[in-house]
Amino acid sequence: MLELPRPDHITDHGDIDGLSDLSEPLDEQRTTPRPVLSFLEKKNLVFLCSIYFIHAIPLQFSWYTMPIILRQQLSYSDVGTFLISQYPYSWKAGWSPLVDGLHHPFIGRRKTWIVPSLVIGGVVLFWLAFTQDSLIAELASGRSLAMAWLVLTWFMVMLVCANIRIALDSWSINLLSPPNVHWASSIATIGETAASLISCNLFLGVTSLNSPKDEPGKVRPASTFLFFGASAAAFVTTAVLLLFGNSASDKAQKSQSIRKVYTIIWEILKLRHVWILMLVHMASMIGFVTNDTITTLELVKDNFSDFDLAILATAALPFAIAGSFLVAKAFQTRHPLHVWRRMFPWRLILAFVSQLTILFVSRYPNSQFRWLVVLPPFCLSQLFSVAMWVAFVAFHAQVSDPQFGGIYMSVLATTLNIRYDTLQFLCTKAIGMIDGSDDLTKPSPLIDGYQIVNVTTVILSIPIYWFFLRPATLYLQTIDVSAWRINFQDPADIMAYEMVGTLEDDE
């Protein structure tokens, strides 16, 4: 659960660590002169990075830190209920055309959504700063209404973060010249990685030093961190209003045909092989979801401190980065789905090995070899997770209709987001049902839900891979690119939409 920013955020416009066009010959890439960033563009990059950073702080905190905080006092079932709050960010492609097409001409196309979203998000975070610790304490005492408030408030935070991300990805296209537009995805990655280091690694390390784990019933001091997030949102909102006016290109852009954009989405969904790819996305995650979601939370149960978890996440950082670089290099000679198939069995083995490490740590909690046992499978899991995600994104970039590339990428990436959140929710609920009552203040259950669910999903994934995933990906690999094209009679408005900025491509 404690990871880098979700791998789906590594690239936002189909770019894979600088490989913006997989079909471009390498000789042309070497001989093309590098465009120079102007002073104004450098200032815009700093501005974009700051907003990406601010919007990702509550995002990363909700994804990775909140489940750890809740698991320290609540059951897996409660953690699963909280994960419902993360759905708006996964489904944001559904209303992306509205964010890009509706705006107030006086405020500006992007600021119409970014400024109110920052204000609302800051207010909600400010409210959470004073109430979240008490809500968690009420949850621990059995008051279910507190969970409803917690889910609702974080649902609102994720909703405004989704709106900011949609508008920001399009605004970055306007703030950079066409030769330098590739910097947009790199800046997004930098901002989100920095936010992850603060909201996950730094937060857990500092709170571990200030709040000893042996204090029973201790609620982690998240209020100060949330207050920091609210203050940062207020500061950036002021900066956006005062320092950035409406650019000439922003004023010149006309409202897009929202109906036609949704028509394109419908045409994409009518393709048979798009549905096969979506089923591959969903089925491929079954064997990994328990390891990716629950293994870190099991370490919390086995007396790993917040500081230990921060060290674990920091150690995995270079492996995740290496995964993206290694797989990008492999794409020069191999098809992305071929690389993906090669990695699938190894990642499945790592999911089972991680289960064995949990058994070792629970039986020998004070062993001097526990780091030697835990670190290798965790770090390698991060490497394979990122690499397999990049392989999917690379395939999306290859098959997406270039006439509607942003919309196409959004539809395919949305499936990746939905599969993660859906299976994560089902996994935590299943473990909670098997364990019955897995509150940390009570004796451990006789039946370990984590062990049962993880080994079940791993075993199920073996026939799923051989009888569906492998033949399906081989079939998708052989389909001609022209078969992925869609028929649309009037692409003019859509092309204008593409020039403004692609729809948000998340996973």
Give residue-wise pLDDT tens across range 120-146: 888 888 888 888 888 888 887 777 788
Model pLDDT, residue 362? 86
- The answer to whether 191 and 56 have CB atoms below 8 angstroms apart is yes
Which one is predicted more confidently, 468 or 39?
468
**142-146, 160-164, 336-340, 392-396, range with the lowest pLDDT:** 142-146
According to DSSP, residue 180 is labeled G
List the structure tokens of 143: 């008051």
Per-residue pLDDT, averaged over 380-407, amounts to: 80
Number of H helices, E strands in the chain: 22, 0
**pLDDT value at 391 more than 90:** no
Per-residue pLDDT, averaged over 327-333, amounts to: 77
**251-260, 393-402, 431-440, range with the lowest pLDDT:** 251-260
List the structure tokens of 481: 């690119």
Model pLDDT, residue 343? 93
Is residue 120 situated within a structural domain? yes
* Residue 98 domain boundaries: 39-244
Amino acid at site 173: I
Is residue 357 situated within a structural domain? no
- pLDDT classification of 7: cutoffs 50, 70, 90: very low
| E-assigned strand segments in 359-503 | none
Q: How far apart are CA 151 and CA 81, in angstroms?
A: 8
Model pLDDT, residue 24? 41
- Looking at the structure of the chain, the number of domains it has is 1
Per-residue pLDDT, averaged over 209-233, amounts to: 62
**pTM check: above 0.85:** no
Q: How far apart are CA 389 and CA 393, in angstroms?
A: 6
Q: How far apart are CA 167 and CA 169, in angstroms?
A: 6
Residue 16 pairs with which residues in a beta bridge?
19
Is residue 147 situated within a structural domain? yes
Q: How far apart are CA 105 and CA 110, in angstroms?
A: 10
R_g (Cα) of the chain, nearest Å: 23
Is residue 6 situated within a structural domain? no
| E-assigned strand segments in 102-221 | none
According to DSSP, residue 220 is labeled P
| E-assigned strand segments in 105-247 | none
Q: What percent of the chain has pLDDT over 70?
A: 77
Q: How far is CA 384 from CA 2, 343, 504, in A?
A: 15, 7, 24
- pLDDT classification of 27: cutoffs 50, 70, 90: very low
**pLDDT value at 94 more than 90:** no
- Residue 503, phi then psi, degrees to nearest 5: -65, 155
Which CATH number does the domain housing residue 197 bear? Answer: 1.20.1250
Model pLDDT, residue 414? 82
- pLDDT classification of 402: cutoffs 50, 70, 90: low
**155-159, 238-242, 487-491, range with the lowest pLDDT:** 487-491
Model pLDDT, residue 348? 95
Model pLDDT, residue 494? 44
- pLDDT classification of 455: cutoffs 50, 70, 90: very high
Is residue 389 situated within a structural domain? no
Model pLDDT, residue 170? 72
Q: How far apart are CA 401 and CA 191, in angstroms?
A: 29
Q: Select the highest-mean-pLDDT range: 162-176, 221-235, 449-463.
A: 449-463
Is residue 125 situated within a structural domain? yes
If we measure between CA atoms, which residue out of 181, 159, 180, 158 comes closest to residue 169?
Answer: 181
Q: How far is CA 381 from CA 64, 290, 293, 319, 320, in A?
A: 16, 12, 12, 9, 9
Q: How far apart are CA 321 and CA 292, in angstroms?
A: 17
Q: What are the start-end ranges of the H helices in 21-110?
A: 26-31, 39-60, 66-71, 76-82, 87-90, 96-101
Is residue 25 situated within a structural domain? no
Amino acid at site 184: A
- pLDDT classification of 504: cutoffs 50, 70, 90: very low
Is residue 26 situated within a structural domain? no
